[in-house]
Every structure is written in structure tokens, then in C-alpha cells.
Structure 1
Amino acid sequence: MEENIEPLQTSDNDRIIQVNIEEQMKTAYIDYSMSVIVGRALPDARDGFKPVHRRVLYAMNELGNHSNRAYKKSARIVGEVMGKYHPHGDASIYDTLVRMAQDWTMRYMMVDGQGNFGNQDGDPPAAMRYTEVRLQRLAEMMLEDMEKDTVDFQFNFDDSLKEPTVLPTRVPQLLVNGSSGIAVGMATNMLPHNLTEVVEGCIAYIDNREITIEELMKFVKAPDFPTGGQIYGMEGVKQGFLTGRGRVVLRGKCHVETKPSGREQIIITATPYQVNRDMLTDKIGQLVNDKTIEGIAHVNNESNKREGTRIVIDLKRDAVANVIMNQLFKFTELQTSYGINNVALTKGRPKTMNLKELIVEFIDFRMDVVVRRTQYELRKAQERAHILQGYLIALDHLDEVISLIRSSPTPDVARENLISAGWGLDEIQAKAILELRLQRLTGMERDKIREEFDELMNLINRLKELLGSEELRYELIKTELNEVKEKFGDERRTEISYLADEMRIEDLIEEQDVVITISHLGYIKRTPADEYRQQKRGGRGAVGSKTRNEDFVEHLFVASTHHTLMFFTEKGRCYWLKVYEIPDGDKNSKGRAIQNLMQLPQDDKVRAIIDIKNFADKEYVNSHYILLCTKKGIIKKTALEDFSRPRANGVNAINIIEGDQLLEARLTDGGCEVMMALKSGRAIRFPEAKVRPTGRGAIGVGGIEVDDQKDEVVGMVCVNKEDATRTILVVSEKGFGKRTPVDEYRITNRGGKGVKTINVTDKTGVLVGILDVNGKEDLVITCKSGITIRTSIAEIREAGRATQGVKLIRLDENDEIAAISKIEEDEPDETVTAEVIETTIQDLVENTGRELDADIQELDEEAEADEADTDEDDAEAAEDDTIESV
């Protein structure tokens, strides 16, 4: 179209002006888009509200619909908002009102609703004529000080009323509840956060205005959704905090339960934010019908308002729960991602803001509110003080004032006479004196006037001091924020899960020693070490784990919650697991199937565990080795660095030949001495240097000669040759044990037959374990029946190699020792020790059914027999020394 067109003259008074339609469309569209951006879709960075939310709360406040008063019909609120402030459809206003009353939509609700406001399954709320609402106390804190000239007001749509341009909120609403909206050419999606964390972040900024975003993230850790769930990975959250744009992956919370029949169930107790529970259940059922997910027998949504979310997924008998959960995360909304797009209005313009900018915007706004409120309170105080000063002047000249007023023909003349009387009164004071009630002239009332005046003068001084000091204002803001946190702050609902390449979750977990137990059938748990009480040698022990009849505790290991455990299986595979990822359970619980934590085949089982403090320490990793041994006497050494890159499906640690099994794994520094012990009671000692390092796929070399097909290696220890305090502890299957100095085992080449380490008899049973100890640890013995005893190793006396030792634990008939382990000894406590001794005595009487005297006599007889055996076995030791190493 031509741009320069002469206007068409139609008459003397009328004229048509032709314009460029392209330019006109641009101008009109920009005007429309800015109207949508500023007046509808984007929140204000100061109070975090869009106009509709702000108008709803303001209208409820004007109606007196407060938290301490009766509910009002929602239809009345909608009509008030639509008729006075928001000339749009009633459906949009009611939808806003409903959302502010839903605890699964708003992290902190603004409206207290009564009636049917829908649910998380997608059921709609009742019509507005049926529901009732009132303000929440938190919303009232966002409206406080409105009457103190803290914010600007503007005319409404027809210029008949005024409404606030922003609410003087004490709550950092935009970060706390978030916001979402689609404007023209831009959108916003701000996620909710925890109020306690946001307030602490605001206070941290006030204390240090140069604080970095990374430092703020120590306080504001991540979004906190009203429906809970688990944030999976923090990199997107970090980008959102740093730039205002990012991505959050949220998973629902689920766990595995075992039914009495033995079948497992996956219980979903929290779904991701804004996910419909019924639709999620239907989707799972559809995937099962399509055979996309196999292993699910039944799924049902058992959620209700009282108990919250509960979706039960029954698994088939051969299904692996961990695999099913991963499939649910992949194919359903049980794992959902949310885009972070922190766009809000600042000074009337849309801007993408990072975490610090959002906090700065709110604190600056609070500073402006405090200044305006203080100025208003100062002005009102000065006005009142001015009038009280006039009262005091009148009281000082009371007789003259009364006479002057009585002699004045009219009030106006009386006012002029008071002003011109020479007492320093102005027109405002004179008018107030004329309006003074006679009762204020009594003595008591006169004292009250003077007292009120003095208080006002003190208040004026404080307010002036507040206006004159920015630091005092910041302290006041901190105080008010702390009040908000104390009244409305709560714990996080959404858990945080870090990925392997992100910030370590160990920083958020308390470091403590825990006992790791693994049963013969593969159930694992962790228990605080202090739950295992210390007992005297010879006690009956305490129940350490509830197991099935055919199950027993096979491994018992102590580690810190911050460490990584390497699991070596009997087929020579290695798997990794963080200690804090192991389910927590009390001493008597069964634990969790290890297949649900690691991708461990059904026909394989864990045989050895190694505790690694930190794989990121390259110097440590490069200077240490993993030493492996098998039941057939094979030994192998591999650099720890070869195991420093964990894989979900594990790696080969050693190539196991047919008929053999991996037995033990040890962490060494390359300079240790290795000792291997056989079930038949022989042991060998040789330098670790005799075993050269090989790769993960190697077979290994001979460590000790195993002659008999029924004989096998029962344990391996690595002793620091520079530590002279170490002794070798051996334990037999019927509860006998002893300590022997390392030097009694001469150094030989690997592959030899070794020497006798314990005198194996029918009374002692075969050898079941070997440990290197220094007497400062505690020994934990676990039996196949589940009985566990913890006793001080220092109480086990030293004896020669060929002796049978002393009795360490009293076993029931047909019971045997399954595993032994050592842990650091606790500080002695006389009170606890006395209590344990008393409990042990009671256990002896109750569990054996014999009298205490008979028990003590039997223990004495056994001790005498042990001493006699020691003398006899020492003579036999000389013959064993003739066995030469090969």
C-alpha cells in the first residue's frame, strides 16, 4: 500500500485520513500486548501478585472477611471483586479464589475455604453459591499497614473507587508461592519455595548485601512443592537460581512394602506438583494392558482427604520393584519436569530475574514500606502531640481559658480570642480546646494527658531515629521477617536428590557410624552403632535381626553414612552403593532386599564389602589396591583406580573359575602382609608384594594350598607390618576364639600350606573367621539364629597358635556362628555396664532355664579346661612349625 496518499475530502467538516495498516497493526498489537503483560498475566516482583489475586484479597479485606470472623459466601466475594475492581468474567475470579484455597495448589494458602473446593484427583469445586471463604492469617499479614499510606492507590476501571497498585506484604510471596502466566510474547513460571528458607535467605542478604547467589543457595536450597515429591537432580535448579531460567525434574515419593503373602507392593505417597492422581492411575493401568510395563498385577488409587495420597501397585511374584519404579518414572507422570522462567514486573517492566534479584526487589520494597509507614506514624504522632500540647497550655491557663470562652459570643470568636491570647496556640489547637469535654479537666484526666504527651514525644524520637538510620530499618525488617517465619514457617515437603555429578548429598546428611547387616537371603539395612549394647564375654547376646527360619545374618559391617560401599559378589562382580542410600532400620527389623537397591542377579550374592571414604581423592585412589581371595585359595591384587568409576550394573572384579567363589576383599596400601586361613585350622602369612597387580578381568594367583576338597578358605586379613600392636583373632563355629601375636606366624612365600592357627576339635568346630585386632575394638558375633553379641576384644586373652581358645558366646543347641566383625569400642559407662551385666544375668536364667550358680560353675570349669588345653596345645605347636611353605 502506498504510504503517502492524499487525504480524501468528503466535506468541509469531515475528513478521512488513510494510514499504513502495517504500522497501525504494530502499534495496536504492542498496546494490547503491554496491557496483557502489565495488567493481567505477569506478577509484580514486589508483592508477587497478579492484579486479579490482589483485587480478590483487597476486596475481602474491605468486606471485613478476616480470619477471626465468620465465613462469607464465595459468590458475594466474586460479585464484590467483579463489580468494583475486576470487570471480567465471574468464572475467572472464582477460579482464582478457589486456587488460593487449595492446599495442593498453593504452598501457603491465602484463602480459608469451607465446602467442596475440589481435590487432587481432578474433581471440580462446587459452585460459588455453595462454598464459603475468609482470609487466611498469612494473607492478612500481606494487607497489614494498608491504611498507613504505605502503597500507592489508583482509580478502578470506572474511576469511582480506588484500589492499591501493590499490597504492602511482609511475606516474600513471589518466591514462596510462585506464579505462572502466559502473556503476549512472553510467559512466566515461578515455582514455590519454603517460607522458612526464603526468610532465612532474605535475612542473609540483609546481613551481607554483597552475598553471592551460591551463598544464598545455602539458605534457599530448591523449590518446595505443596504436594511434596522428590527433586531429581539440582543442576537445573542451580541454573534457575543463577539466571532465572532452568529446569526442575520432580519425582513422586514411593516405597516398597511386603505383604504377608511375601509379594511386594509399590506405595506412592506423593505425586509431582499438578499431577492428577486418577489420570496417573489410569495411565499405569493402560501401560500394563499394553504390556509396556510387565510385572504389575493391580493398581488402585486409595487416596483420601484424611490420609493423603496413597496409590497402591501390587507386583507379581517374580517382579523386581526397583525395575518397575524406574519404568514408572520413565513412562508416566510420576516423574515430571517443570521449566523455571522467573519473569516478573519491576518498575512496570517485565524482567527475568535470578534468586538474588528477587530477594533484593522484595527487601527494597519492604524498605520503602517501612519508610512510608514510619513517616505516616510520625506525622500522626506529631499531629496528636500538637493537640495535646494545646491541651497542656489550656490546662496551665485554665481559669483564663474558661473566662475567655464564656465571654465570647460565638465559637468562631472564642477560637480567635484563644489564638490572640498570647499563649502560642494556633487554629488547630484552639479548635481542639473548644471541642474538649469537661470531664478531661478533672485531675486524673489531666494526668493522663500529660502521660500521653510524654509517650508520644518518646515515640516521635524513636520514629525520627528510625528514619535517620538505614541499619535500624534493616533490623526492623529482619525482626518482622522472623515473626513471619515463627508463625507460618514449616519443614520442607519436597526432598532433594542429587545426581552423581552434582553437589554431594553428604553435605545435607549427618555423618554417623552405622552398622550394615546383610542376611543370607540378601536383606540389607543400616542401624546406628550405639543400638548394639556392649556385653561381657560369655553372654547370650541380643536379637540383632529378625529373619525367616531359613535366613540368618551373614555380613555385619560398620561404616560412616558419608562413605561409599563396594559390594563384591561370589561370582566376582563389584557394585557400588552410598551408605545413606541403604534403608534405615532398627536392630530388630529384617531390612530391604538388596536386589531392590542394586542390579544384582537372583543367582548371585554379596560376599565382601569395602568401605571407601572418597573416590574423588585421586592421590588416595592411586595409592591403594583391592586384594581379593577365593575359597579355593586364589588371591588377586587390582588398583583401586580401576574401581573408581561406579556403574549401575556393576563390573567384573575377578574372573572366577568353575567350582570356586569369591570369599573376601580387602583395601590395602600395597605394603601390607597378607594372612589367609582355612576351615581346617591352618593359616599362611606372606608379603603383599608377592602378589603383582593385575587388571579387573584377571584370574589371580595361588595364595594358600587347599589339599582337601572339603577344605576351603574362611578369611583373609591384611596386617600393617609396622603396627606391632596387632594380633590375630580366630573364631570357631561353636563359639571358641583367641588372640595370637602376628609374629608367631612366620613369613613364607605365597602358595604354601601354612601353619596351625587353632586346634580344631569336635568341641570347637571348624574355623569360621579370622580378624586382625589391637584390643581397642569390640567384637560383634552374629549367629545363624539371628542372635548378636558385642563384647570387648580386650577381654579375649592371648594364646598360642595351636590352642583352642576360650568360649566367646553361649550357643543354643544346633546354633552356629555365621559372621564376625569388629567395631570401635565405645567410651566406658559404669551405669550402662552395670545395667548390661544385670540384663545378661537375667538372660542367662530366663533363656537357659538353669540356675545362676550352675551357669557360673560351668563357666569356671570351661576356663580350667581351656587352660589345660593351652598347655597341651603349646606342645603340639612345635610339631606344626616343621611344616614348610611351598
Structure 2
Amino acid sequence: MSSDIPEDSAAPARRVETARIEQEMEQSYIDYAMSVIAGRALPDARDGLKPVHRRILYAMHEAGVTSRASHRKSSSVVGETMGDFHPHGDSAIYDALARMAQGFSMRAPLVDGQGNFGSVDGDPPAAMRYTEARMSPIAEELLADIGKDTVDFSTNYDGRKQEPDVLPAAFPNLLVNGSSGIAVGMSTNVPPHNLGEVIDATIHLIENPDCTVEDLMEHVVAPDFPTGANIVGRNAIYKAYKTGRGRLRVRAEMEADEDRIVVTELPYQANKARLIERIADDVNEGKLDGVRDLRDESDRDGIRIVIELKRGANPDVVKNQLLESHLETTFGVINLALVDGQPRVLDLKETLEVYLDHRREVVRRRSEYDLAEAEDRAHILDGRLTALENADEVVELIQDAADRDAAKAALKAAFDFSDDQVDHIVAMQLGSLTSMETAAIEEEYAEVQARIDRLEEILDNESELLGVIEDELREIKADYADERRTRIIEDDGEVTDEDLIPQEDTLVVVSEDDYIKRMSLSAFDPQHRGGKGIIGADLKEGDRVSSVFLANTHDYLLCFTNRGQVYKLKTYQVPEMGRTARGKSAVNLLDLDDGEEIEAVVDCESLEDDAERYLTMATRDGRVKRTAVDEFGNILSTGIRAIRLAEGDALVDVELTDGDHDLIVATGGGMSIRFDENEVRPMGRDARGVGGIKLEGSDHVVGLAAVDPTDHDWVLSVTDNGYGKRSPVDAYRQQSRYGKGLIDIKTNERNGPACAIDAVGPGDDLVVMSEDGQIIRTPVEDVSTVGRNTMGVIVMDLDAGDAVASVAVIPAERTGEGELDDA
């Protein structure tokens, strides 16, 4: 029977293949997963768009629905997108279109919509037949130059059309507008950011390719949500930017008084209607005490939720309960995007590097396209100019020719024209032979040649190409950037440790091995000068005291290191210990790197919104620098750059000034120079500073004094061997900075080199601490007043091998009423 079966009927059976079901299922699942990952759920790191968003914008571009055109029915845009590029159903396309039009979802909306596109109450958009849309102006920046072969294209799903694999993207859209999506086995959640900050960071990366994430965070300080609100704490922001993953606490903005609490901004993606409903449920169930009434007064101008309080209710307690249950959310950052078609979690720098690589390729390809066009035009103009220079002969050749083809052949033979050139020459009108037309062609030819030269320069020089990118980014920033909406607040909760710490003056001691502690000022009674003092620190073997200074428990301590970094902590965070205690290692309080040591510490009451005060720094090699205090308001736990130091130089002293001080820079060799602080212009944190004093030989700077003639009568100088003196401020005449200066104190073998200088007034106390940990407090007026060129008197009686480590001044208003101790 089998022999009777036609051979053709057995052919399908011969194509059947045997496969193991588990292998087939595994491969099919992988194919499906990659299709979802690359084709639907994850954005491309280059333009920050998923395929559906890219296709919507390209369909609007192709249809001419730009920001300058009239609005088009959303159903029309959805239909063209679905029919030509995205065959996945109209509801998914419309949802994506609506989100791009929502000002509460996108930091820079890419669609300009008319009609109801949803609300923060969770209301869905109106049906697509009732809404209208067109591209927003900034969306056109994503598509700019797409017709100049700047990106690759692929065929659409049915092979009829071409669609871009990625958009040219003139700004880093992934960071600006963020993205969210769930793929198979992975998800992405990129927060939106401020356009101006992102562009500043991108430009910084262009100019400093070796910069760190920390450097970029000086520009991109945190996500910037379209709904504003507050991000609580900075450490989570740092982790998210450093690793690509993190959990940000986002807290509502509210105002509270005795009668009510008014919420004016909600966390990103919070559903306002549902939130109010949940608060009301908690009030009704007795979970939230003290609330009398709750109403929503929000309108087109913004959020306004009013929570009326019962008489006698504690607003702080109610506010704390609201934060715990309703008004604080967590935003989980997952900076996952497609890089070369593969999903990758990117840190802040990697995100911008991928964008810059893309933008570099776009500008290169655009320049090649423009260059080819310019060369083609120059070629045509060159032929026309040759024809004009030989107009009589050209006209005669054309007149003598039998037809147009013969005329072209005669011209090519006579002048070696190309086919394109003779086509244009034969088509020239007689009017173009006028001198005015000739001048216009010559002018255009010169312009085209200049453009060719510029384009060749861009293509041949990487720095020129990057300069073009930078200029275009600056233009976009100027056109579209706005103010930051989301604020960063400290993670201080409702009741902080600071609330429980009494405000008092303390002495903070730092050793060379970076052990640090604080001691109550009351533990040190004033003594007459010349004594040995008492033990102030029991140091470990080989360690020495490096500095002692006065600070209030609620002040900020700015710790400057030998690498030019600055770290911040509150004084109360330094452990309080007894006089004989060693202290706590600073690495337990500050995130110091290996080999990084504290060189100088300054206390400051506040760091924010203070452009009128300056941190004035002096380095060992004689450089001086002033930087506004408010530039140090965003100090990360890992520190930030405070000064750029030359190799071998080190920071030796920092003073707080206000623009009205004179500066006195002192050296170990006993020299000093006084000049107006305004001779040192305010600089950024990354600057090196300017010359303050000219040093001779091996001399070096040991200290900096900020003198206010209305508060300070004398300049106090102290030497290594415990000698010191007061000299009238007027004895230090004002000079121009960067001179050799004048003698400050006579140094010799007896009193040793100078080690400290400070400005003092009547009633001040002096605290001197030795390297071995001895400490003495004595009234400044116990130290003799003498001229500049003298050795001074004994301030502290030091043991053999010991030396003065540091000097601190306690101002008269903080010295108290202690009696002198003759011990």
C-alpha cells in the first residue's frame, strides 16, 4: 500500500523535526522576553524613548503635526501611528500619547494637548475622538536633523515604510523625562530631572571626561519631579546616581499652623483623590486624631488640600501621623535602559556617556551630510562662475549647437564641465549674465566654501565636534530650562537628635591620626600664662594633636582634607568625651578615603542661602582663595571638592569672612602680609586660588587671620616652643596681596618657628594645645603687647620634645565669668 502513495503526499512528513519540549519552551520564552524587553517595555538610553513613544512622535513628524501646525484629532494621530508603525492596538498608543501630554507626569511634555488628558486625581483621559494633539516645541528637538542621515532606519512591520531605530535627541531625554516600564524579569523606573541641571552635567562631562559621579552631582543634585514636593535625605540620591538603583523618600510640601495643615504639593505619581479618601477613612476609624475637617481646594493653579484641626490638637503630631501614613512615599530608582540593544543598569555618568556617544555620532553624520550637499552646491557654482567668466564663448557654443544635447557635449568638451554643471549652465537664463547676478553667485560661492571649511574642521577635530554639541545644548537650555521644582530636605524626622542636644560651646580636638572628640568648655578654667596646663587628650603612641577649636554643639563643622575635599557634620555628632579620652576615629564619622587626612576644620552656623559670607582658605605654598558659603550647602556624605591643590601643596587654615575683613597671612619664618579680602575675588570650589604672599627659601604659610578693625585690637602670634605676643592691628600696614610682607614675630632657636596667628580683642581667652595633648586656657590680655619684630613671652610651658599644635580663641561674649586659676 505504501508504494501506491504519491511521493508528493509524503513530502510534508519529511519536514517534521523532533525537539525536546523543555528546550523548545525555553527558547520560545527567551524570544518572547527579548521581544518585550527591546520592543515594548524598556527605553533606549540614547533618546530615552520606548518604541511606541518614538513611533508616535515620528508619525506626527511625518504628518506635519508640529508645534507650529494646528492641533490634530488624537484619533488621527493614533490611527496613523498604528497603521504605519505600531500594530499593537489603539488603546496602548493613546495611553502613551496622553502620558506625553500630561504636565504632572512629564518634566518636559513632548505633546501639546487640547482637551482632557487625565488628572492627578487618577481620572482617565477623554476618548481620543474628543482630544487634540500636536508636538510640543521641545519634542521637535528630539527629531531635529532626522532627515540628514543622522540615525539608522529600519523597515516597518509590513515593509512599506522606513522608521528610525532611534531619534537624534538634541538633549538627554532619558534623564529629563524619565521612564517606567515592566519587562519580563526586569523593570525600569527612571525619575525625571531638571533640564538645565542635566545639560550642565552633560557639558561638564564634555569638558572633563574623567570626572566622577560626585562631580556630576554638583550639577544634577537630585531628581526634579513635575509635581514638586521634597526628597528626604541626600544619601539615597547619591546611592541611586552611583549605582543606578536606590530608594528615594518623597514627602509632600505642607504648611502648618495652630488651626490647620495645608498641603500644596504631593509626591510624584500620587493619586490625589485616593489619598484624600484614605485620610478621611483614617479619621473616621479613629486612626488619625485631631482632624476636624478635610477638603480639596485644588484648582488649575495647583494643589491645595486643607486639613482643619480640632481645638487643642497638636499640629506637629498630626503632621507626623500624616507623613507616616499618607504624605510620604518611596520612589524606587532603577536606571535600566537599552544600550546596544541590551538592558543595562547605568549610573549617572554612564547614562550621560551613552547619550554623548550617540550625540557625537549624530553630529558627525549630520556634518558629513551637510558637507556632501555643500560640496555639490560648490561644484555647481564653480561651473556657473566659469560659464560667466567665458559668457561670450558659452553663448556662441550654445547658439551653434543643433540641440540641447549637442550644446551640453560642446560645453563639456570646451571647459571640462561635469554632467551636473552643464545641466545647470544650459538651464541658465540670460538675466543671470548681469553683473549683479554674477556678484550674487560669487558671494554664495564664498559662503559655501566657508561652510565647507567649517564642516571639514568639525569632522577632522574631535574638540570642534564636541564644541558644536556643547553650543547646541546651551541653546536648548536657554530656550527651555526652568527652575527646579523639587526641594531636598534633611532626613531629620519629627524629633531629631539635635532637638535633644542643648546648645553650648565646646572645644573640639583633632589629632594627626584623625581622632576627634569634643569637651565642654567649662572643663577648662582660665589660668595665668606660662603654666603647663592640664591634660586635654590621652593620645595613642605616635599620634599628635593637630588642631583645637571652639564650636557650638548645633554648628556645622566643615572638615577640609589634604586632598582638597570638604566634609560636613554637626558638632553634636562628634562624641563628647573626658579630658583623658583619646577620641573617636574620624573614619567612623566621615567617609574618608585611604590616605585622606583632615587638615583644617571651621565651624559655621548655617550653609544655605548665604552668598554674603565666604570661606577663605590659605595653603602651605601661599595661595589664598575665597568661596561663598552657600556653595557648600550641598555637601554629600562622601564630601565635595573645596579647593584644587597643586602637587605638594596643602590646606593650612580656613577662616569665615563677610567681605569686610582684612586678611593676614603668616609664615613659619615669622613673616606676614595684610591685605583687603576683596583683593581675592570670590571663586568656585574647583579653583586653586591666587597668590597671597611671596615665600622665600623653604618658608611656608602656617596660618590665616581675618581682622575686623572694629572688633579686633591686636594680632596674636604664637610659636612652636610656646612663646607668643600681641601686637596692635595698626602695626600691620595694609599692602597689596602677593608681596613679601613684613616681619610678624622674631623666630630663633629659643622660641622656634611661628605656628599660629589670630585676631583678638579685649576679654578674649586663648586656648593653646600641645602636640602631646596638654591644654591651657588663659586670658589674651595676659600675653604682653609688644611690637612686631620681637620674640614674645612664654604662653605655655612645654616639656622637652613637645610643641604647640594649635591655638583657638574664645571671643569675649563666650568666655563666661570664670575666675583665674593659678594651678
The normalised TM-score by structure 2 is: 0.61
Which secondary structure state, in structure 1, belongs to the residue aligned with residue 95 of structure 2?
A: helix
Structure 1 match to 2:453: 461
Given that residues 506 and 520 in structure 2 are in contact (C-alpha distance below 8 angstroms), is that contact kept between their aligned partners in structure 1? no
> 2:288 pairs with 269, 273, 293, which one?
293
- Post-superposition shift, 1:55? 0.9
- Post-superposition shift, 1:647? 14
- Post-superposition shift, 1:327? 1.1
1:280 is the counterpart of 2:275: yes
Structure 1 match to 2:341: 348
Given that residues 575 and 647 in structure 1 are in contact (C-alpha distance below 8 angstroms), is that contact kept between their aligned partners in structure 2? no
Flag the 1:357–1:134 CA change in 2: closer, same or farther, 3 A. same
Within 1, Cα distance between the matches of 2:552 and 2:435? 95
1:156 is the counterpart of 2:52: no
Structure 1 match to 2:417: 425
Flag the 1:613–1:428 CA change in 2: closer, same or farther, 3 A. farther
1:379-778 to structure 2, matched below 5 A, reads 379-421=372-414, 423-499=415-491, 577=498, 610=504, 622-625=518-521
User: Structure 2: which amino acid aligns with 1:60?
Assistant: M
Given that residues 762 and 812 in structure 2 are in contact (C-alpha distance below 8 angstroms), is that contact kept between their aligned partners in structure 1? no
Within 2, Cα distance between the matches of 1:641 and 1:417? 95
- Post-superposition shift, 1:272? 0.5
Structure 1 match to 2:303: 309
Structure 2 match to 1:226: 226
1:812-831 to structure 2, matched below 5 A, reads none
Within 1, Cα distance between the matches of 2:491 and 2:442? 69
Which secondary structure state, in structure 1, belongs to the residue aligned with residue 484 of structure 2?
A: coil
Flag the 1:428–1:823 CA change in 2: closer, same or farther, 3 A. farther
Flag the 1:612–1:471 CA change in 2: closer, same or farther, 3 A. farther
- Post-superposition shift, 1:355? 0.6
Within 2, Cα distance between the matches of 1:430 and 1:71? 46
> 2:263 pairs with 268, 289, 294, which one?
268
- Post-superposition shift, 1:627? 8.7
Flag the 1:403–1:203 CA change in 2: closer, same or farther, 3 A. same
Question: 1:147-168 deviations in whole A, cap 9, x for unaligned?
Answer: 1111111111111111111111
Within 1, Cα distance between the matches of 2:403 and 2:305? 83
Which secondary structure state, in structure 2, belongs to the residue aligned with residue 300 of structure 1?
A: strand
Within 2, Cα distance between the matches of 1:83 and 1:774? 87
Structure 1 match to 2:697: none
- Post-superposition shift, 1:242? 1.0
Given that residues 621 and 641 in structure 1 are in contact (C-alpha distance below 8 angstroms), is that contact kept between their aligned partners in structure 2? no
Given that residues 74 and 128 in structure 1 are in contact (C-alpha distance below 8 angstroms), is that contact kept between their aligned partners in structure 2? yes
Structure 2 match to 1:515: none
- Post-superposition shift, 1:345? 0.8
- Post-superposition shift, 1:411? 2.1
- Post-superposition shift, 1:192? 0.7
Given that residues 242 and 347 in structure 2 are in contact (C-alpha distance below 8 angstroms), is that contact kept between their aligned partners in structure 1? yes
Within 1, Cα distance between the matches of 2:763 and 2:132? 72
Flag the 1:643–1:391 CA change in 2: closer, same or farther, 3 A. closer
Structure 1 match to 2:11: 13
Within 2, Cα distance between the matches of 1:156 and 1:625? 77
1:48 is the counterpart of 2:48: yes
Question: 1:464-507 deviations in whole A, cap 9, x for unaligned?
Answer: 11111101111111111111111111121111123369xxxxxx
Structure 2 match to 1:83: 83
1:95 is the counterpart of 2:87: no
Given that residues 503 and 552 in structure 2 are in contact (C-alpha distance below 8 angstroms), is that contact kept between their aligned partners in structure 1? no
Which secondary structure state, in structure 1, belongs to the residue aligned with residue 467 of structure 2?
A: helix
1:785-796 to structure 2, matched below 5 A, reads none
1:336 is the counterpart of 2:329: yes
Within 1, Cα distance between the matches of 2:79 and 2:163? 16
RMSD of equivalent CA atoms:
3.5
Given that residues 507 and 520 in structure 2 are in contact (C-alpha distance below 8 angstroms), is that contact kept between their aligned partners in structure 1? no
Within 2, Cα distance between the matches of 1:388 and 1:611? 82
Given that residues 575 and 646 in structure 1 are in contact (C-alpha distance below 8 angstroms), is that contact kept between their aligned partners in structure 2? no
Flag the 1:145–1:10 CA change in 2: closer, same or farther, 3 A. closer
- Post-superposition shift, 1:438? 2.8
Within 1, Cα distance between the matches of 2:457 and 2:222? 38
Given that residues 506 and 553 in structure 2 are in contact (C-alpha distance below 8 angstroms), is that contact kept between their aligned partners in structure 1? no
Given that residues 415 and 434 in structure 1 are in contact (C-alpha distance below 8 angstroms), is that contact kept between their aligned partners in structure 2? yes
- Post-superposition shift, 1:614? 8.4
Gaps of 5+ in 2: 1-6, 525-536, 538-549, 555-568, 573-710, 715-760, 765-810, 815-823
Given that residues 622 and 641 in structure 1 are in contact (C-alpha distance below 8 angstroms), is that contact kept between their aligned partners in structure 2? no
Structure 1 match to 2:352: 359
Within 2, Cα distance between the matches of 1:614 and 1:405? 98
Which secondary structure state, in structure 1, belongs to the residue aligned with residue 294 of structure 2?
A: strand
Structure 2 match to 1:208: 208
> 1:370 pairs with 359, 363, 368, which one?
363
Within 2, Cα distance between the matches of 1:465 and 1:623? 65
Within 2, Cα distance between the matches of 1:331 and 1:460? 64
User: Structure 2: which amino acid aligns with 1:283?
Assistant: R
User: Structure 2: which amino acid aligns with 1:488?
Assistant: Y
Flag the 1:305–1:424 CA change in 2: closer, same or farther, 3 A. same
Flag the 1:12–1:249 CA change in 2: closer, same or farther, 3 A. same
Which secondary structure state, in structure 2, belongs to the residue aligned with residue 147 of structure 1?
A: coil
> 1:321 pairs with 302, 306, 315, which one?
315
User: Structure 2: which amino acid aligns with 1:625?
Assistant: L
Flag the 1:56–1:403 CA change in 2: closer, same or farther, 3 A. same
Within 1, Cα distance between the matches of 2:431 and 2:305? 72
Within 2, Cα distance between the matches of 1:641 and 1:477? 48
Within 1, Cα distance between the matches of 2:35 and 2:91? 21
Given that residues 615 and 621 in structure 1 are in contact (C-alpha distance below 8 angstroms), is that contact kept between their aligned partners in structure 2? yes
Within 2, Cα distance between the matches of 1:455 and 1:642? 68
Question: 1:188-217 deviations in whole A, cap 9, x for unaligned?
Answer: 111111111111111111111000111111
- Post-superposition shift, 1:620? 8.0
Which secondary structure state, in structure 2, belongs to the residue aligned with residue 122 of structure 1?
A: coil
1:71 is the counterpart of 2:71: yes
Q: Which moved more, 1:439-448 or 1:74-83?
A: 439-448
1:96-135 to structure 2, matched below 5 A, reads 96-135=96-135
Within 2, Cα distance between the matches of 1:92 and 1:473? 39
Which secondary structure state, in structure 1, belongs to the residue aligned with residue 134 of structure 2?
A: strand
Within 2, Cα distance between the matches of 1:107 and 1:122? 18
Within 2, Cα distance between the matches of 1:352 and 1:367? 22
Flag the 1:496–1:616 CA change in 2: closer, same or farther, 3 A. farther
Given that residues 506 and 519 in structure 2 are in contact (C-alpha distance below 8 angstroms), is that contact kept between their aligned partners in structure 1? no
Flag the 1:243–1:443 CA change in 2: closer, same or farther, 3 A. same
Within 1, Cα distance between the matches of 2:169 and 2:417? 41
User: Structure 2: which amino acid aligns with 1:314?
Assistant: E
Flag the 1:290–1:169 CA change in 2: closer, same or farther, 3 A. same
Given that residues 576 and 647 in structure 1 are in contact (C-alpha distance below 8 angstroms), is that contact kept between their aligned partners in structure 2? no
Structure 1 match to 2:784: none
Q: Which moved more, 1:100-109 or 1:117-126?
A: 117-126
User: Structure 2: which amino acid aligns with 1:495?
Assistant: R
User: Structure 2: which amino acid aligns with 1:336?
Assistant: T
Gaps of 5+ in 1: 1-8, 258-262, 502-573, 578-597, 601-607, 629-638, 649-722, 727-772, 777-820, 825-886
Question: 1:502-521 deviations in whole A, cap 9, x for unaligned?
Answer: xxxxxxxxxxxxxxxxxxxx
Flag the 1:110–1:289 CA change in 2: closer, same or farther, 3 A. same
User: Structure 2: which amino acid aligns with 1:303?
Assistant: S
